[in-house]
Amino acid sequence: MTVHSVSLVIAGSGGAGVVTAGSLLLEAAANAGWYAMMSRSSGPQIRGGEAAAMLRFATEPVMSHDDSFNLLMAIDWENIGRFSAEIPMVADSLIVGDPAHGDAPAALLNGKPRQAALAMTDIAGRIENGRPNMVALGAIAALIGLPPEAMQAVVEKNLKRKGQAAIAASMAAFHAGVEAAADLPPIPRLPAISAAAAPRWSITGNEAAGLGVIRGGVRFVAAYPITPATEVLEWLAPSLAKVGGTLVQAEDELASINQIIGASYGGVPAMTATSGPGLSLMIESLGLAVAAEVPLVVVNVMRVGPSTGIATKSEQSDLNIAVYGLHGDAPHIVVAANSVADCLFTSQWAVHLAEAMQVPTIVLTDQAMGQSRAIIPRPAELAFIGQRETAKQAVEGERYKRYAVTASGVSPMAIPGTPGLTHTADGLEHNEFGTPSSQASDHLAQMDKRSRKLSQFNYGDHWADIEDFGSGADDAPQEVPLGDTAIITWGSSTGPAREALQRFSDAGGKARLISIRLIAPVQPERMAAALKGIRRAVIVEQSHSGQFYRMLRAFYDLPAETVSLHQGGPLAFGPARILEQLNQWSA
Amino acid sequence: MSAETGDPMPIRSIPELLAHALAMETEAAERYGELAVQMETHHKADVAAIFRRLENAEKKHLGELTEMCGKVELPHIAPWDFKWSTSESPEAIDIGKVHYQLSVREAVQLSLEHERKASEFYASVARTTDDAEVGRLAREFADEEQEHIGWLETWLAECGVEDSTVVEDPDPPLSQE
Amino acid sequence: MEAVAQKYKAKDYKSELKPIWCPGCGDYTVLNAITRALAELALPPEEVAVVSGIGCSSRIPAYTSVYGFHGVHGRALPVATGLKLARPELTVLVTGGDGDGFSIGGNHFLHACRRNVDMTYIVMDNQVYGMTKGQASPTTSPDWEGSKLTPEGTGINPFQPLVVGLASGANFIARVSSSDPVNMAQIIVEAIRHPGFSLVQVLSPCVTFRPEQAEWRDIVRTAVVDYTGDAARAARRLMTDDGFNVGKVLFKGERPPFRPEFEVTDGSVAQLEARFSL
DSSP-derived pairing of the beta strands A246-249 and A296-302:
unpaired
Q: Is the ipTM of this complex over 0.95?
A: yes
Given this model, what pLDDT does residue A482 score? 79
pLDDT per position as a tens digit, A162-205: 999 999 999 999 999 999 999 999 999 998 776 566 889 999 99
Whole-angstrom Cα distance, residue C231 to residue C223? 17
Q: What are chain B's domains? A: 14-164 (1.20.1260.10)
Q: Has residue C5 been placed in a domain?
A: no
C49 touching B, CB under 8 A?
no
**Inter-residue contact A236 to C260 (CB < 8 Å):** no
C-alpha torsion sign, points A65, A69, A74, A77: positive
Q: Look at residue A475 in the predicted model and tell me its pLDDT.
A: 61
The reply to whether domains A202-377 and A462-586 share a CATH topology is: yes
Residue C111 belongs to a domain: yes
Please, what are the averages of pLDDT over each run of 10 residues along chain C (278 residues)?
65 96 96 98 98 97 98 98 97 98 98 98 97 95 95 96 98 97 98 98 96 95 93 95 96 92 70 93
Q: What is the mean pLDDT of residues B31-56?
A: 96
What average pLDDT does range B119-144 have in this prediction? Answer: 96
Q: Is the pLDDT of residue A259 over 80?
A: yes
pLDDT surpasses 50 at A1: no
CATH fold of the domain at A5-183:
Pyruvate-ferredoxin Oxidoreductase; domain 3 (3.40.920)
The pLDDT value given to residue B71: 87
Task: Give A4's pLDDT tier (boundaries 50, 70, 90).
Answer: confident
CB contact under 8 A, A416 and C108: no
Kindly list the residues from chain C whose CB atom is less than 8 angstroms away from the CB atom of residue A267.
86-87
Best probe of the C interface among B80, B83, B89, by most C CBs < 10 A, is B80
Q: Which pLDDT band, with edges at 50, 70 and 90, does A246 fall under?
A: very high
| Residue C8 domain-assigned (yes or no) | no
Q: Are C23 and B69 in contact (CB < 8 Å)?
A: no
Kindly list the distances between the CA atom of residue A143 and the CA atoms of A69, A146, A183, A191, A388, in Å, as whole numbers in the listed order. Answer: 14, 8, 10, 12, 54
pLDDT at A232: 98
The confidence score (pLDDT) of residue C265 equals 64
Which chain A residues are closer than 8 Å to C274 by Cβ?
Answer: none
Per-residue pLDDT band for A326 (boundaries 50, 70, 90) equals very high
Mind listing the pLDDT tens digit for each residue in C56-73?
999 999 999 999 999 999
Q: How many domains does chain C have?
A: 1
Cβ neighbourhood burial of B170 (10 Å; 0-12, 13-18, 19+): exposed
Cβ contacts of B39 on chain C, cutoff 8 Å: 23
pLDDT band at A477 (very low <50, low <70, confident <90, very high): low
Contact status of C267 with chain A (Cβ, < 8 Å): yes
| Residue C116 touches chain B, beta carbons under 8 Å | no
Predicted local confidence at residue B170, as pLDDT: 80
Strand-pair partners of A271: A221, A297
Domain boundaries, chain A: 5-183, 202-377, 389-457, 462-586
Chains that touch A (3 or more CB pairs under 8 A): C
Per residue in A10-19, pLDDT (tens digit) is 999 877 889 8
**Is C10 contained in some domain?**
no
pLDDT single digits (tens) A404-459: 999 999 999 999 999 999 999 999 999 999 999 999 999 999 999 999 999 999 99
- The mean pLDDT of A107-133, rounded to a whole number, is 96
How far is the CA of C25 from the CAs of B7, C107, C162, in angstroms?
A: 30, 28, 23
Look at residue C3 in the predicted model and tell me its pLDDT. Answer: 39
pLDDT recorded at residue C264: 52
What residues in C contact A270, CB-CB < 8 Å? 82, 86
Beta bridge partners, A5, equal: A58
Tell me the percentage of chain A whose pLDDT exceeds 70.
Answer: 98
| Domain A462-586 fold | Rossmann fold (3.40.50)
Question: Is residue A61 less than 8 Å (CB to CB) from chain C?
Answer: no
Per-residue pLDDT band at B2 (split at 50, 70, 90): very low
Whether A581 contacts chain C with CB within 8 A: no
Please name the residues between 71 and 130 in chain B that touch chain C, using a CB distance below 8 Å: 71-74, 76, 78-80, 87-88, 94-100, 102
List, as one string, the DSSP characters of chain C.
------S--GGGGB-SPPP-SPTT-HHHHHHHHHHHHHHHHT--GGGEEEEE-SSSGGGHHHHBSSEEEE-STT-HHHHHHHHHHH-TTSEEEEEEEHIIIIIITHHHHHHHHHHT-SEEEEEEE-SSBTTTT-B--TTS-TT----SSSTT---SPPP-HHHHHHHHT-SEEEEEETT-HHHHHHHHHHHHHSSSEEEEEEE---TTT-GGGGGHHHH-EE-SSPPBS-HHHHHHHHHHS-S-EESEEEEE--PPPP----S-SS--HHHHHHTTB-
Q: Could you list the residue range(s) of the whole structural domain that residue C114 is in?
A: 19-274
Tell if the CB–CB gap between A285 and C86 is shorter than 8 Å: no
Which of C89, C260, C271 lies at the smallest CB-CB distance from A247?
A: C260
Q: Is there a contact between A285 and C71 if contact means CB atoms under 8 Å apart?
A: yes
pLDDT (mean) for A241-264: 96
Nearest-by-CA chain C residue for A248 = C260
A-contacting residues of C 222-261, CB under 8 Å? Answer: 260-261
For residue A367, pLDDT beyond 50? yes
The enclosing H or E element of B83 equals: none
CATH number at residue C86: 3.40.50.970
Q: What integer is the mean pLDDT of A24-41?
A: 93
Q: Per-residue pLDDT averaged across A144-154, rounded?
A: 94
pLDDT value, residue A198: 80
> Which residue of chain C comes nearest to A426, CA vs CA?
C70
Residue C1 confidence (pLDDT): 31
Report, at the CATH architecture level, how domain A202-377 is classified. 3-Layer(aba) Sandwich (3.40)
Interchain contact, B39 vs C23, CB within 8 Å: yes
Say what the pLDDT of residue A471 is.
Answer: 79
pLDDT of residue C2: 37
| pLDDT mean across residues, chain B | 92
pLDDT classification of A218: cutoffs 50, 70, 90: very high
**Window 99-128 of C, Cβ < 8 Å to A:** 107-108, 110-111
* pLDDT tens string A289-317: 999 999 999 999 999 999 999 999 999 99
Is position C264 within any domain?
Answer: yes
Q: How much is the mean pLDDT over chain C?
A: 94
Q: What is the DSSP letter of A394?
A: P
